Structure 1
Amino acid sequence: MATSFLPTANPLFLPCSSSSSSSLSPAAFNPHKNHLKSQIVICNAFSDTPIATVSRRGLAVSFLTTTFLFSLDGRERRGGANAAILEADDDVELLKKVKKDRKKRLERQGIINSSKTEKGYLQDLVYKLSEVGRAIDNNDLSAASSVLGGSTETEWLQKANLALTKLTVSPEEKTEVDTFNSSVASLISSVTRKDIESSKVAFITSASAFERWTTLTGLVEVLKGL
């Protein structure tokens, strides 16, 4: 049907004119009477309505535009569906992570609650570090030395390390414990040499590492004096 509107197509209907009926002889109506009547009716029906002509290029452009719009709409719908699936997957992964973190916290809390001896060792560590800090702040390295002792073999430091080792779980916590131990060794050495500046730096490093460790483990809310 569409080809009848193209400029180069053969017409499917006879051309209509005001003189076509008068030029026909009476004999012409007899053998093809019904056929000619149908042609005249068709011509009259179309003579009152102008026939629009569309070029091949116009049809092609219209077809391509429609196809593009449908494909774009399809991509948007598929994109929306894919986004919804990804968001659902993200929600599931987030929920798993929340449950896993909660399980870890409960397990850690159970360990802390059952480690009364270790908590006592760590509480003593807090008090000892406070004494050392006050002594160094007053430039009294002799008082600091009496608390620290001459080496890391001091009993309270040994007990503190037992507690730190037992309650350390993650790599981040272990890093803070290692930093604490190395800086405490430097602190003892600096105090023994009567080097006040180095003692202050080593003390700050030790205390900061321990405080970060208590934050990671949750003991910051349990121990007093932090």
Structure 2
Amino acid sequence: MAAVFLSTANISLPSLPSSSSSSYFLPLTSTTSSYFHKSSVRRQLKLCKVVNDSPPYPPNLTKRSLSICLTTTFLFSVAGDGDGYSNANAAILEADDDEELLERVKRDRKKRIEKQGVINSSNKETAYLQDLVYKLSKVGQAIENNDLSVASSVLGPSSDTDWVQKANVAFTKLSSSPEEKTEVDAFNSSLTSLISSVIQNDIEASKIAFVSSASAFEKWTALTGLVGQLKGL
């Protein structure tokens, strides 16, 4: 580095008398030797001053070096900011999840509105289901009192009775999802067991079958949104 600055420095050396003129010729005496020694010292001091006063780096900054500097800085910032990069990706994924959740909420809301419209236009079917609630309530009270004769008179001799068929008409019209249809099947199966147990005068089996029937019906009303539409639940 010092060699570069020394080559461009403007160094002025002391002028010596011309050797062509004999009148200015100085013999090599002790005085002459002292003069050359002092001149050499002054030159060295000037050289040191030039080197010390020069900037530590060349002042000229080219476009290429600036471009390299900026590129390197960017690469180091990316490499050193791994968490920020991960957080940015996480934010993008969270935004996608939020949009998907919003779309799901919109679809569910649309389904609920459509289902409520079907319920509002199904007064006859709702009345069938209200009668079902009434009959189940009476059967439950009779079984609790161990009075299976009363339970039998309410249920009828088989699952082909009029009120059961009407209830299934309502089930068919108001059930749209696989879960709702599954609960309908569970209710009908438990109801058949209940009627059979009551006819056989089996109080314990009647209680188990009744709980299963009532549970399946309650789950179905919750799935369809009919809980608030029916009294006695």
TM-score (norm 2): 0.71
- What is the CA-CA distance between 1:77 and the residue it aligns to? 2.6
Name the structure 2 match of 1:189. Answer: 196
Match of 1:219 in 2: 226
Instruction: Rate the CA distance shift 1:39–1:161 in 2: closer, same or farther, 3 A.
Output: same
Aligned equivalent of 1:140: 147
* Correspondences of 1:18-167 after superposition (within 5 Å): 26=36, 38-42=46-50, 70-167=77-174
Give, in whole Å, the separation in 2 of the partners of 1:178 and 1:37: 109
CA distance in 2 between counterparts of 1:24 and 1:212 reads 118
Unpaired segments ≥5 residues, structure 1: 5-9, 14-22, 47-65
Q: CA deviation at 1:40?
A: 3.0
Cα gap change, 1:188 to 1:41, in 2 (>3 Å): same
Q: Which has the larger radius of gyration?
A: 2
Structure 1 residues 114 and 26 mapped into 2: Cα distance closer, same or farther (>3 Å)? same
Shift of 1:74: 3.0
Sort the Cα spacing of 1:93 and 1:141 in 2 relative to 1 into closer, same or farther, 3 A: same
Shift >4 Å, 4+ stretches: 27-30, 43-46, 66-69
Q: Distance in 2 between matches of 1:141 and 1:45?
A: 115
- Structure 2: gaps spanning 5 or more residues: 7-32, 55-72
Out of 171, 176, 180, the residue aligned to residue 187 of structure 2 is: 180
Q: SS where residue 139 of structure 1 aligns?
A: coil
Sort the Cα spacing of 1:41 and 1:201 in 2 relative to 1 into closer, same or farther, 3 A: same
Q: Cα gap change, 1:161/1:25 in structure 2, threshold over 3 Å: closer, same or farther?
A: farther
RMSD over aligned Cα, in angstroms? 3.2
* Amino acid aligned to 1:221: G
Deviation string, structure 1 residues 203-224 (Cα, Å, up to 9, x no partner):
0110111011101111010001
Change (3 A) 1:192 1:74: same
Q: Distance in 2 between matches of 1:24 and 1:172?
A: 115
Give how far 1:73 is off.
3.5
Q: What corresponds to 1:171 in structure 2?
A: 178
TM-score, structure 1 as length reference: 0.73
State the alpha-carbon separation in 2 of the partners of residues 88 and 133 from structure 1: 51
After superposition, give the CA deviation of every residue in 1:9-66 in whole Å (9 maximum; x if it has no partner).
x9x98xxxxxxxxx99739969xx97x56523246669xxxxxxxxxxxxxxxxxxx9
